[in-house]
Structure 1
Amino acid sequence: MTAETRDAMLRRFVRETFGLRGTLGLHRAAFGLDLVRAPVNVVLAPIFLLVKLLGLIARLCRAPRLAGWLLSRRIVFETAVSRKVAARVRGLVAELDAAGVGPGAPEATVARAVEDYVGVRNAVAEITTVLFVLITGWALFHSATLGVISLAGPVADMRAQALAIENYWAGQWLGQVYFGWFPRALDPWQVVATGVALAMLASLVTTFAGVVADPVQRWLGIHRRRLTRLMARLDRQADSASGLSREHAVARLGDLTDIALALWRALRP
């Protein structure tokens, strides 16, 4: 009966918090400083991954104090949306405890587990952005663009061609013919500027990606299963940092692959 009551309360929480109306309410908090924090977090994300990997290596090398310190570092800035999600999840834990079906974990343990939970949800938002970039690259250029780096070159080239055709001295029609045979040379600064602009745009997409990702995850049952794992962790009174989740790894996989491909193209003869 206890398990059934807890499960019913988790389902109700997911429905109210991560349904379309609930997630729209959460993302109202994003209009403000989150629009500044988002691009900064994009820059800090690779550092976050590196610190997590170093923590896991330290754990494998049986250096628990160093591993615990590294894995507990908060690299990215906490957003207002993340604070709202964390507050609601902590409220859920308190509600479960009050109903006699909660884990009864210490406050510090709950805080650590909820922080990891919110971090995984943020990683899913980044995965949603990666999918958006991938679909955009395939729709526009019929190629797999795993990140902003691989998308920047084709977008910069398309923009440069369009401007050259528009400003051609003999008119746009002849400009299309001329630049179709003799494509305009692309300056490196144009690719860099385009990449920066796309990165800023991607950070905004990530900020509001939960509006789409939350209802989809609710429909697939992912939010409920993730909360069930959270409660199981609190039942065990597990206070240690959880390490690198698969969501964080997948979120960074596109960027790392994108960087590796860019280096390979640049270094090959």
Structure 2
Amino acid sequence: MHETRAILRRRIDAFVARNFRLAGTLRLHGAALGWDLLRAPANVALAPIFLLTLLMAGLLRLIGLRRGARWLGARRILFTTSVSRAVGERIEADLLGGVKLGPHSRQLIADYTAIRSAVAEITTSLVVLATGAALFGVATPGVASLAPNVSGYVVHASAVANFPLGTRIGEVWYGVFPVTQPGWIVLVTALGLAMAASVVTTFAGILADPVQAWLGIHRRRLERLLARIADVEGRSSGLAPEHVLARLADLTDAGLGLLRLFRP
């Protein structure tokens, strides 16, 4: 039994090295060049509904309504991206030996790829957070909190550049009397940043995969997936912490964005 586990771990490690190290994930994300540029932002918008579905399924399971929990947990809320489909196909072919899978096993693989999508969102939040800290010295975990800072900088720079008495006096003037930015400018800026963030999310795995491979996260996640597929009792994946973290980042971002937008 120990030898079997060792062999399985070597197979998983080899799979991770082929697919989630830098060269492997670059090849994998080649599939994202296309409709994934639309599917990824759509999945970001649908993610709160997906999380609510998982929470409701967990509640039904807790009170003993297992049939309803299975039905709700099997609902396809998110679009299947080309990258997710490629990962699922490689798991079936390489780790599972191409065996015929039932609906439950396929659902477990879909749950696994959904966790990858949540990690991509978290990675995007970290990128935006680092951008806000580097450029503005403030915490910006998402587009809603970053947009007022970006639009404020643009409005201020434009006002200084067009000040009648020159830019130096303009800097002093607007340092004392800050420029008021219209709400529509913040909205337009937020839309532009959201489009940029959707592209980052589509390819965020290029950053996240090698880090997770190095930390052993990919191996542990795949070990859990294979254990659940082999479980004769058909255990569900349940609510992964990655989904909760992604939504917490959204809530924090929305709260900070509103505070900075309406702060006197």
Contact 2:60–2:66 under 8 Å retained in 1: yes
Partner of 1:150: 145
Partner of 2:218: 223
Q: Alignment partner of 1:183: what SS?
A: coil
Contact 2:32–2:82 under 8 Å retained in 1: yes
> Which stretch shifts more, 205-214 or 40-49?
40-49
Structure-2-length-normalised TM-score: 0.90
C-alpha separation in 2, matches of 1:187 and 1:268 = 14
**What residue ranges of structure 1 are gaps of 5+ in the alignment?**
98-103
Question: Identity of counterpart residues, as a percentage?
Answer: 49
C-alpha separation in 1, matches of 2:254 and 2:65 = 31
Which of 189, 192, 195 lines up with 1:197 in the alignment? 192
C-alpha separation in 2, matches of 1:41 and 1:79 = 9
Which of 66, 69, 74 lines up with 2:68 in the alignment? 66
Q: Residues 266 and 175 (structure 1 numbering): CA distance in 2 closer, same or farther, change over 3 Å?
A: closer
How far apart are 1:51 and its partner, in Å? 2.1
Instruction: Spell out, residue by residue over 1:95-153, the C-alpha distance to the aligned partner (whole angstroms, 9 max, x if none).
Output: 2x7xxxxxx78432321111111111111111111111111111122222222211111
Contact 2:228–2:236 under 8 Å retained in 1: no
Letter in 1 for 2:57: G
C-alpha separation in 1, matches of 2:8 and 2:149 = 51
Instruction: Spell out, residue by residue over 1:5-26, the C-alpha distance to the aligned partner (whole angstroms, 9 max, x if none).
Output: 2111111111111111110001
Does residue 9 of structure 2 align to residue 7 of structure 1? yes
How far apart are 1:263 and its partner, in Å? 5.5
Partner of 1:128: 123
Partner of 2:55: 53
Contact 1:37–1:77 under 8 Å retained in 2: yes
Contact 1:105–1:234 under 8 Å retained in 2: no
Partner of 2:82: 80
CA RMSD of aligned residues (A): 2.3
Which of 234, 240, 247 lines up with 1:245 in the alignment? 240
How far apart are 1:235 and its partner, in Å? 1.8
Instruction: Spell out, residue by residue over 1:215-245, the C-alpha distance to the aligned partner (whole angstroms, 9 max, x if none).
Output: 1111111111111111111121354542321
Matches within 5 A, 1:82-121: 82-95=84-97, 106-121=101-116
Which of 164, 170, 178 lines up with 1:175 in the alignment? 170
Contact 1:109–1:237 under 8 Å retained in 2: no
How far apart are 1:174 and its partner, in Å? 2.6
Structure-1-length-normalised TM-score: 0.89
Which of 238, 252, 257 lines up with 1:257 in the alignment? 252
C-alpha separation in 2, matches of 1:238 and 1:144 = 45
C-alpha separation in 2, matches of 1:189 and 1:58 = 43
C-alpha separation in 2, matches of 1:60 and 1:199 = 37
